[in-house]
Amino acid sequence: MSTQLDQLARLPDANVLPHGRGHGQRQPLMLLLLALAAVVLLYHATFWSMLELWSRSQTFAHGFLIVPISCWLAWRQRARLAALGPQPSSLGLLMLGALGLAWLLADAANVPVVEQYAATAMLPACVLAILGWPAVRLLAFPLAYLFLAVPFGEVFLEPLIDFTAAFTVTALQWTGVPVFRDGNNFSLPTGNWSVVEACSGLRYLIAALALGALFAHVNFHSTRRRLAVMAAALLVPILANGVRAYMIVMLGHLSNMRLAVGVDHLIYGWLFFGLVALLLFWLAARWRESPPASVVPPAAAARPGAGGAD
């Protein structure tokens, strides 16, 4: 099986299948689309709650991009997916049943995030049930990427707030600015500051993880380099948010609280995050890997005039 997947991994993203196989592949793909639509309809309230959170919270607004990106990544693999052929797995049906039970328990206990994860996990389970393990392996990243759409991460708010406050106060002390800290609040001679939810950097961290995962998947092929990019996407935003908070406090302090205390506070934050993300991915791109050499499928090579279309 691994040999088969290795060969398929070297196929071009948009090869056309040999004539005659398209009809045979169309039926399971249509069945898969119907199954996915059924899951979305049956659990529409759960998916709608996710969409509402994307709309209400800037922290989770990236969710609007996750689904179309996942669909695009899966579409890039359409030729390889069809070349695999369906190999339905009964384990997928068992997973659907288990996830349905998990959803019911979460609904009874009123734990929305578990409901959302269970409903989202049903989508890969449908792929496993109808197309089988080879398809799941081929589409592993697009399917896993869907889980980033679940609004999760608020559990990290307090640790991030505490780290940002500690980092800012320490940096102020190192630069000779008198500061007194009381929890997440601290006082300078020019004014008082508080590290609140918007200052935690959670929104930057989640956005960086989503971007980092996509960047690593598209530009790298070795597991080591992908993990390195993901680690950087996790650590750099946390440290950068501490630097951002320190710079904003210093800007307010040096301007006698005339700058960086209103809406410009948020603007400076996003501008700084954008510059940090740009620098991070520019550096990572210097070590990007070339795609594997394309190999023409044997069946396609045997057909004179077989062409490619995107």
pLDDT band at 11 (very low <50, low <70, confident <90, very high): very low
Kindly state whether residues 9 and 141 are assigned to the same domain.
yes
Q: How far is CA 221 from the centre of its chain?
A: 18
pLDDT band at 25 (very low <50, low <70, confident <90, very high): low
Nearest to 65 by CA among 76, 78, 54: 54
Structural domains in the chain (count): 2
User: Which strands, in side-by-side order, build the sheet including 180-182?
Assistant: 180-182, 185-188, 191-194
Distance CA 283, CA 85 (A): 39
213-227, 256-270, 273-287: least confidently modelled range: 256-270
**pLDDT averaged over every residue in the chain:** 84
Kindly state whether residues 25 and 39 are assigned to the same domain.
yes
Q: Looking at beta carbons, which pairs linking 24-32 to residues 24 or more positions away fall under 8 Å?
A: 25/82, 25/85, 25/86, 28/86, 28/88, 28/130, 28/131, 29/82, 31/130, 32/126, 32/127, 32/130, 32/131
Burial of 248 (0-12, 13-18, 19+ CB in 10 A): buried
pLDDT band at 168 (very low <50, low <70, confident <90, very high): very high
In a domain, 170, yes or no: yes
Mean pLDDT, rounded, for 90-112: 97
Q: Which pTM was predicted?
A: 0.80
Mean pLDDT, rounded, for 84-93: 92
Kindly state whether residues 9 and 146 are assigned to the same domain.
yes
Q: What is the pLDDT of residues 230-273, one digit of tens each?
A: 999 999 999 999 998 998 899 888 888 777 666 556 677 777 77
Question: Which residues constitute the domain of residue 27?
Answer: 2-152
Mean pLDDT, rounded, for 36-46: 97
Kindly state whether residues 193 and 101 are assigned to the same domain.
no
Mean pLDDT, rounded, for 22-44: 87
In a domain, 305, yes or no: no
Greater model confidence, 226 or 299:
226
